Amino acid sequence: MRKTLILFSRIRAWFTEGRANREFDDELEEHIRLLTERFMSRGMAAMDAADAARRQFGNSALVQQRQREARTFLSPAELWRDACFGARMLRKHPGSTAAVVVALALGIGTNACVFTFVNALLLRPPVGVKSPGELREIWQRNRSASGMSRYTPLTYPDYAYFRDRTKSFTGVIAYDGDPEPVLWSRSGRGEVVHGQFVSGNLFSVIGVGTALGRPFYPDDDQPSSPRPLVILSNTFWRQRLNADPNVVGKPITLNGTSFIVLGVAPPRFTGLEVAMAPDFWAPLSMSEQMLHDPGRLTSRFSHFLSVEGRLAPGQTTRSAQAETRVLASDLEKSYPESNKGEDDQIYSAAPVPGPYREYVAAFTGLLMAVFALVLVIACVNAAGLLMVKATGRAREMAIRSALGAARGRLIRQMTVESLLLSLLAGLVSVAFAWWTSRLLLNLVPANLPISLEIPIDWRVLAFTFVVALITGVTFGTTPALRGTRVDPVHVLKNENHADGFNKSRMRAVLMTGEVAVCTVVLFGAALCVRSLLNANSIDPGFDIDHVAIADLDPGSLGYSEKKADAFYRAFSARVQSLPGVVSASYVNHLPLDASREEGGIEKASESKSEDDFLHVDVFRVAPDYFNTMGIPILKGREFSQSDADRRTSAVVVNDTLARKLFPGEDPLGQLIKMPDGKALFQVIGVVKTGKYRTLGEEPVAVMYRNEIPSSRVIVVRTLGDPRPLLESLPRAAQQVDPNMAVTGAQTMRQFMSFPLFSARVTGLLLGAAGVLALILTWIGLFGVVSFAVSQRTREIGVRMALGARRSDVLRLVMRQGLLVTGIGLVVGIGCALAASRLLSSLLYGIRPDDPETIAAVVVGLTAATMLACYIPARRAARVEPTTALRYE
Amino acid sequence: MGEKKPEVLQGTLDLMVLKTLHALGPLHGFGIARRIEQLSENLLELNEGTVYTSLLRLQQQGWIKSSWGASENNRKARFYSITRQGLKQLERETENWERFAGIVGRVLRLERQG
């Protein structure tokens, strides 16, 4: 091993150093030859001339040696020597080394942690796929819309058009974005599993095979003759089927249809995007039958397909884009009704779908910016500490320079030491990032079951390495430049190297900057934490402590409306007989969930144009919903069983709607008209306005109707803790109907982690950043003031001997520290106010320039820094003049 | 050989090399040695290898730079030339030297008193 190393370094030296050496030797030889010729031309014999020339030239070997030592700045051998020496120096001062490494590792590590997510969501191509770099996503884009709503998945006819005509792609695949919940009937009992419908060419185009059996071929997916085939996911096969080796060819009943298992996917393949990992894949052509949704493959209006293609050799994103735009305009001409204003947009393939990346990038970018500021603080601290150390090492530097070390050599030595420190910190931060990113992943709410792998792969390592290098250079340069500017004569004569004005000014500037950056981070952190507290205390308008919920979809079993109704009646009767249950009701989807239904309404007595209708959110609820959810009824009554039976067109509205549509009138008994104009609805009750879309929203007008589709959420009110219901609800469903299965049984409090997710993440991360910034700044300030005091011990002694009182000394030291803090605070608040506007969309119930928060940050930071200055100042004030003067 | 020639005073070779390059433009090492020999009218004992150590030092300080070219007799040779920084340094060093030489001169001119 060692021998090969030596051989390797010799070869390299021969290439890099060798050439320069040989050139130099040539130069010297040439000189001697010229001298010899000159002597010979004066009539000397050849031998004598050569001797004379050598004499006149002097010791050439010595010159060559000099040249070798002095030449390159970055010769590997020298660097290695410096690194060894640096490592020895760092080991000699374990305390300060550890302090710098920990500070930097926190700074680098938090950045690496956020980057781990950036990598997992935006950069990493899908796993287990052949040459993922060639895959591109195709999204439909509406030219006239803006923001997220511009982008939609494709319809099946449009997908087929692209697939059959494109020349830019060797294959175009499609899959149904979110895996659909499907009932798996297993020995007479239903269990919910998730399936993804994919085009028949998916496996061959992305280059994924199977662990058992065979993948789909295009023939397996013909809309004219759908075949009931499935490919199981490896996890499903292992966990639910005990890795049955003979599973291929066996039947499996899904949503009442018998499927044949065609194969088992390889372990690493879990789909192409961040989503729930599917338990199985089925051909797209089966989806109409399985989802009881005829026409979804022929409709030009049903956008549900994520489409990706593999670029043909020699094609680029741009050329593919040009071609698909032409195809899209063909479609637009042929089908103006459905495709008007639609073209498409191509993205590289990554776990987060193209159009969403901008938002993920903005959010993670914000976090990275905040943590970059924390890193800046850590850098300033490290630089400060190194500068202190450099002052202590002035003697060492002076001796080295007196012995002939060039300044460049000293700078290199110091820089190598800083780089060693930062690379060490980089190593620690990789471990830190691994640990914290896994902690963060636990924040993802349970009802957002996404399959996200967050590996520390080469991208994360490269990022961390580069950040560590930049960090090392940043914090190492100033101390290196200043530390090596020593005048050996003065230092070695032991003249008082009292801190020059320049040096302390430099430190003051650094500290001011540190306090300013800390103010920015702390202000952002305080805003986000207060926003999180606000969000937690926002009243969503319903009870979150005594309610349990679960999702049901008898439609997926192919039940008719009548059969589903019968099931629901029996089920709620059963649930109401469970111990501790007060009442139970149904709603089509919960407020603050991802689904939404909107509509326009007007008073029956008016006839405005449709644009002037009042836009309302619509919820469909069963009798006793408001009582069960704990939503206060302000006027009138809620739906009763008789309303449900008679299907009278009764509606309940919230008071926001009542105020908007019937200002100054009694809303009860009023009639409401929908845009279709025929049916009239009578208001029978008014309930209190809650939160429906987001916790931070302005009051939204809401109308509750009592026709409710068969896919529902059951809400159950309990007397005490709703948690026991999480077990008994699924059991009750199967007792009523063995084929039925409920999904997502959870308490309302658990459900609330979904709307609170973004506030929690920002609150937690920025809060952590703020605490980190504060601690680092405090330590930095404390260290620098302590050092300044220790440097001035003698001066303080003189002052006290001349009659300064302890309080004068205290004031002297404090004044310097507080001046630094004060300037830093003023600059920091200015920057913070400018920067906090970026946060405004993430904040709940607090303005980005909230004066209370500013005041709190100013007071808090001032108090902290005063303490950091006071401790060393008090030590200074205790200095005994006699000791101080006798010192040295 | 007769009387011993004076050696180059410590620290003055750099100055001489710098001045030579300033006065004559780009030169190779051999040319520099010849010039100094010529100007000293063969009275100076110059170890010509030291010219190269001097060139190395000056190059490291960034006061001169070098490039490859062809010598008069068309052989490959490294040519050295003075840089802008070198010019400034030359000015400073010249001033220092003149002051120093002046002081030494004045001291040596002292008459024996009383």
Interchain proximity A63–B53, CB inside 8 Å? yes
Among A23, A26, A58, the residue with its CB nearest the CB of B48 is A58
Q: What is the mean pLDDT of residues A46-54?
A: 85
Q: Residue A615 carries which DSSP code? A: E
Task: Report whether pLDDT(A440) > 70.
Answer: yes
Query: What number of other Cβ atoms are within 10 A of residue A615's Cβ?
Result: 11
Question: Using an 8 Å Cβ cutoff, are A565 and A758 in contact?
Answer: no
Confidence of residue A807 (pLDDT cuts 50, 70, 90): confident
Q: A471-503 in b/e burial notation, b at 16+ Cβ within 10 A?
A: bbebbbebbbebbbbbebeebeeeeebebeeeb
Confidence of residue A626 (pLDDT cuts 50, 70, 90): very high
Which SS3 state, helix, strand or coil, does residue A747 take? strand
Query: Contacts of residue B77 in chain A, CB cutoff 8 Å?
Result: 27, 30
Q: What percent of chain A has pLDDT over 90?
A: 15
Residues in chain A: 888
Q: What is the mean pLDDT of residues A153-172?
A: 90
Angle, CA of A112, A116 and A119, to the nearest 5°: 125
- Residue A1 tokens read as 């091993």
CA distances from A34 to A65, A175, B54, B75 (A): 22, 81, 20, 11
What's the confidence (pLDDT) of residue A535?
82
Q: Residue B108 carries which DSSP code? A: H
What's the confidence (pLDDT) of residue A224?
84
What's the CA gap between A710 and A562, in Å, rounded? Answer: 10
Element (H, E) at A614: strand A614-620
Interchain proximity B56–A66, CB inside 8 Å? yes
What's the confidence (pLDDT) of residue A127?
74
Interchain proximity A35–B30, CB inside 8 Å? yes
| Amino acid present at A544 | I
Kindly report the nearest CA distance between residue B104 and chain A, in angstroms. 24
What's the CA gap between A327 and A763, in Å, rounded? Answer: 46
| Alpha helices for A538-654 (secondary structure H) | 561-576, 625-629, 641-646
Task: Report whether pLDDT(B55) > 60.
Answer: yes
What's the CA gap between A695 and A702, in Å, rounded? Answer: 15
What's the confidence (pLDDT) of residue A380?
86
Kindly compute the dihedral angle of the four CA atoms of residues A112, A118, A119, A121, in this order, to the nearest 10 degrees. 150
What's the CA gap between A477 and A499, in Å, rounded? Answer: 19
What's the confidence (pLDDT) of residue A70?
55
pLDDT digits (tens, 9 = 90+) for B72-113: 777 778 889 999 988 998 999 899 889 988 998 899 888 776
What's the CA gap between A180 and A376, in Å, rounded? Answer: 46
Which SS3 state, helix, strand or coil, does residue A854 take? helix
Question: Using an 8 Å Cβ cutoff, are B24 and A25 in contact?
Answer: no
Interchain proximity B56–A27, CB inside 8 Å? no
Question: Using an 8 Å Cβ cutoff, are A248 and A212 in contact?
Answer: yes
Which of A593, A597, A583, A595 lies closest to A629 in space, CA to CA?
A: A583
DSSP string of A26-68, one letter each residue: HHHHHHHHHHHHHHHHTT--HHHHHHHHHHHH--HHHHHHHHH
Task: Report residue A834: phi and psi, to 5°.
Answer: -65, -40
pLDDT digits (tens, 9 = 90+) for A176-202: 877 777 888 877 777 778 889 999 998
Among B52, B75, B76, the residue with its CB nearest the CB of A28 is B52
Task: Report residue B42: phi and psi, to 5°.
Answer: 60, 20
Domain membership of residue B68 (yes or no) is yes
Question: Using an 8 Å Cβ cutoff, are A350 and A121 in contact?
Answer: yes
Sign of CA dihedral A464, A276, A179, A696: negative
Half-sphere exposure of A232 (CA within 13 A, CB side): 32
| Alpha helices for A641-687 (secondary structure H) | 641-646, 655-661
Instruction: Tell how many helices (H) and how many strands (E) occur in chain A.
Output: 28, 23
Out of A581-590, A729-738, B42-51, least confident range: B42-51
What's the confidence (pLDDT) of residue A282?
92
What's the confidence (pLDDT) of residue A644?
64
What's the confidence (pLDDT) of residue A471?
87
What's the confidence (pLDDT) of residue A575?
92
Residues in chain B: 114
Domain membership of residue B53 (yes or no) is yes
Count how many domains chain B has.
1
Domain membership of residue B40 (yes or no) is yes
What's the confidence (pLDDT) of residue A340?
79
Question: What ipTM was assigned to the predicted interfaces of this complex?
Answer: 0.82
pLDDT digits (tens, 9 = 90+) for A339-373: 877 788 888 887 788 778 887 888 888 888 888 88
- Residue A592 tokens read as 């603050």
Give the best residue of B48, B58, B71, B74 to mutate against chain A (max A CB count within 10 A).
Answer: B48
- What is the crossing angle of helices A94-118 and A407-441, to 10°? 50
Query: Contacts of residue B46 in chain A, CB cutoff 8 Å?
Result: 56
Beta-bridged to residue A717, according to DSSP, are A547, A583
Give the best residue of B53, B64, B71, B76 to mutate against chain A (max A CB count within 10 A).
Answer: B53
Domain membership of residue B113 (yes or no) is no
What's the confidence (pLDDT) of residue B1?
41
Beta-bridged to residue B69, according to DSSP, are B77
| Nearest residue of chain B to residue A57 (CA atoms) | B48
What's the confidence (pLDDT) of residue A448?
57
Query: Contacts of residue A60 in chain B, CB cutoff 8 Å?
Result: 49
What's the confidence (pLDDT) of residue A64?
67
Question: Using an 8 Å Cβ cutoff, are A75 and A412 in contact?
Answer: no
Domain membership of residue B58 (yes or no) is yes
pLDDT digits (tens, 9 = 90+) for A465-523: 999 988 888 888 877 777 777 666 666 665 554 444 445 677 788 888 888 988 988 89
What's the CA gap between A570 and A584, in Å, rounded? Answer: 12
Confidence of residue B2 (pLDDT cuts 50, 70, 90): very low
Confidence of residue A610 (pLDDT cuts 50, 70, 90): low
Domain that holds residue B38: 13-108
Task: Report whether pLDDT(B13) > 50.
Answer: yes
DSSP string of A528-549, one letter each residue: HHHHHHHHHH---SS-SSSEEE
Interchain proximity B29–A34, CB inside 8 Å? no
Question: Using an 8 Å Cβ cutoff, are A324 and A164 in contact?
Answer: no
pTM: 0.69
Q: Which residue has the tokens 């809309």?
A: A223
Q: What is the mean pLDDT of residues A146-172?
A: 86
Task: Report whether pLDDT(B47) > 90.
Answer: no
Kindly report the nearest CA distance between residue A861 and chain B, in angstroms. 47
Out of A402-416, A626-640, A733-747, B48-62, least confident range: A402-416
What's the confidence (pLDDT) of residue B113?
65
Query: What number of other Cβ atoms are within 10 A of residue A219's Cβ?
Result: 11
pLDDT digits (tens, 9 = 90+) for A446-475: 655 566 778 888 999 999 999 998 888 888
Among A57, A70, A406, the residue with its CB nearest the CB of B48 is A57
Which of A674, A710, A501, A489 lies closest to A588 in space, CA to CA?
A: A710
**CATH code at position B46:** 1.10.10.10
Q: What is the mean pLDDT of residues A83-108?
A: 83
Q: Residue A150 carries which DSSP code? A: G
Confidence of residue A570 (pLDDT cuts 50, 70, 90): very high
Domain membership of residue B4 (yes or no) is no
Out of A609-613, A844-848, B68-72, least confident range: A609-613
Task: Report whether pLDDT(B31) > 60.
Answer: yes
Query: Contacts of residue B47 in chain A, CB cutoff 8 Å?
Result: 56-59
Domain membership of residue B18 (yes or no) is yes
Domain membership of residue B8 (yes or no) is no
Interchain proximity A57–B77, CB inside 8 Å? no
As a whole number, the mean pLDDT across chain A is 82
